[in-house]
Amino acid sequence: MKRTWFLTGTDTNIGKTIVSSVMLIKAKKHGFYTAGYKPISTGCIKTKKGLRNLDALLLKKYSIIKFPYNTINPFAFYDSEPPHILSQKNKINITFKKISNELYNIQKKANWIIIEGVGGWYTPISPILKFSDWVKKENIPIILVIGLKLGCINHAILTNQAILKSGLIFSGWIANCISNKNKYVLDYINTLKKYIYAPFLGKVPYIKNIKNLSKISANIHLPK
């Protein structure tokens, strides 16, 4: 059975990659052949092998099945701007076909796959298409990451409504502590539980050093 999820967030820079990596670690412990997939990335670095995205590299590090970089990150852009703008500026057409084909290649070898989105649920990838349109086309269940910060409750409620409206399976949500100075973490979570109509999969604590990821994987549950 191929278990595949699309992981989105309430915003950008709320820890989607950290959560994705933790979930890959957790799935590995359950015996799955795991793979992380980052179809679109921005803010890449230039290397001798071409553009590389640090988030995609982290997903590759924690995946059991190793794929060529261009498979796990087929669309990579240097600047840190919205992908639909960068695709037009660089004359690179982001296509559903390419994203789907690479996913199918990954599914041939991996049986537990996390697909990390870019930005939030409604991030545009072209003048007329959003990333969520591709997810609906492929009928992929959703996991939502909520970065605990001021304003996240409103963003989470709106994203929750948008996911439910899509008709896709909402497999669960994860609270990510993006600061070690937030003393109201439990209050945030308890409030979110009242408004998010999906299972609460757990909380990821604040992580200062990503080398500690393997030590916190027990704090979350895998989606069913």
Judge whether 222 and 23 are in contact, CB under 8 Å: yes
Strands 75-76 and 40-41: parallel
Distance CA 129, CA 191 (A): 33
Return phi, psi of residue 5, to 5°. -130, 150
Judge whether 32 and 38 are in contact, CB under 8 Å: no
Residue with tokens 């087929």: 74
Distance CA 141, CA 223 (A): 10
Strands 45-47 and 50-52: antiparallel
Judge whether 72 and 37 are in contact, CB under 8 Å: yes
Which of 16, 26, 38, 149 is catalytic? The answer is: 38
3-state SS assignment for residue 200? strand
Give catalytic status of residue 38 as yes or no.
yes
22 closest CA partner among 208, 224, 203: 203
Q: Which two tokens stand for residue 60?
A: 């590759």
Question: Is the dihedral angle over the CA atoms 8, 10, 16, 22 positive or is it negative?
Answer: negative
Judge whether 53 and 91 are in contact, CB under 8 Å: no
Residues with a catalytic annotation lie at 38
